[in-house]
A and B are shown apart, each in its own frame.
Chain A
């Protein structure tokens, strides 16, 4: 297997892994607090809905849209997702936002589930809808990531394998741990995936702007696909620069700490 194929596999695996951890936290909160049957039913319904949306959207965008429009729409969405992740990573690394904490999210979901009232004997609609929404929202991002990375590398099957492997691994860990997956270095993973999504999104959305000219040909980057490597390096360096500029000063020493420092 070539280095490019491994790169595609690792990129889709990491991106989908992070999304699946978030979905698993929501489903586990509903299952442990209210009803496993309803949480799994919501998850199953979301997977079916995702398959239907992917089939129709995939057919529509590859059959009806010119290449440049496809690049603009998917690239624009990837760019929005990627920059949202990168923004959070920059704010967290510079000390301006608390770290993503799966335990805390789990506690919030459990609190909401308890506040929603008693669970009846039939299908618990609260668990069903919350699980459905969580899995569908996170799953839609996975669909976009797989389509984009796969099409760009001209190897959708490998991208699908990367995503499917991530689902299997997350479900296995969740099943074995039976608790929120806070042991996973999610902040670091999100930072890396944010850089990848921002780079692919920048590349594709700029290419797709060509839809607005008479021939509708995509805009060409200097160096074509090699420009992607430059974009990845640029987004990484820029994010480090933003972190350095935005870093908050360390909290002032408390009187006790100042005395300890003085005594040293």
Chain B
């Protein structure tokens, strides 16, 4: 059990690192792009540019979450 937990922890450290928001941003952007690919008939070139825009937007949102002003109690 300890070995499994250590194995899982290693891959978590390796992929997610110290900021889970980036991994969530990347996966979300690619999931939206995959949905657009499957659900629409957008051409490759437009789809590729849209993919770039989605990734940049997801990154900007994760930065905004990081730097939002903390509410004082």
Contacts and interface: CB of A to CB of B under 8 A. Distances in A.
A234 B52 contact: yes
Contacts, number: 89
Nearest to B62: A87
A105 interface: no
A212 B40 CA distance: 12
A246 interface: yes
Interface in A71-86: 72, 76-77, 79-80, 83-84, 86
Contacts of A206: 33, 47-48, 51-52, 55
A246 B66 CA distance: 11
Interface string B8-21: 00100111011100
Range of interface residues on A (Cβ < 8 Å)? 20 to 34
B22 A222 contact: no
B63 A246 contact: yes
Interface of B: 10, 13-15, 17-19, 22-23, 25-27, 30, 33-34, 37-38, 44-45, 47-49, 51-52, 55-56, 59-60, 62-63, 66-67
Interface of A: 72, 76-77, 79-80, 83-84, 86-87, 90-91, 96, 133, 137, 140-141, 202, 205-207, 209-210, 212-213, 219-222, 227, 231, 234, 238, 242, 246
30 contacts: A76-B26, A76-B27, A79-B55, A80-B15, A80-B23, A83-B26, A83-B59, A84-B18, A84-B19, A86-B59, A87-B22, A87-B63, A91-B63, A91-B66, A91-B67, A96-B66, A133-B10, A137-B13, A137-B14, A140-B14, A205-B55, A206-B51, A206-B55, A209-B30, A209-B47, A213-B38, A219-B48, A221-B44, A221-B48, A234-B56
